Amino acid sequence: MVKTQIQIPDHLYRETKRIAAQYEMSFAEVVRRGLERLVPSYPPRVGPAGEWRLPELDLELLADPFADPEWRSTLYSAEEVAEPTATNRKRRSTGARR
């Protein structure tokens, strides 16, 4: 077993001492049990930390929609975007009728 020193905020120290007293454990036992619950939440990383890559996502698409470098202009082309005309818009009610 390794012996070590740590610095923790006062409120965390007081709460840990309270738990230890209420459950008849030592301060060290409460800290050990807390670490035993925390460690599984952080599984070992594969490879060095600097080599993280975005996971591959298979959307089962027939073609890559971003293969064309002009995909933005295709997406927002004039033929596909229908702007509402002034005659199709409903007038806002101002509360007072004319």
Sequence spans of domains, the chain: 10-41
Q: What is the DSSP letter of 42?
A: S
Of 32, 34, 37, 45, nearest to 4 by C-alpha is: 32
Determine the pLDDT at residue 55.
83
Per-residue confidence (pLDDT) for residue 13, from 0 to 100: 97
pLDDT at 95: 58
Flag residues of the chain having pLDDT under 50. none
pTM for the whole structure: 0.47
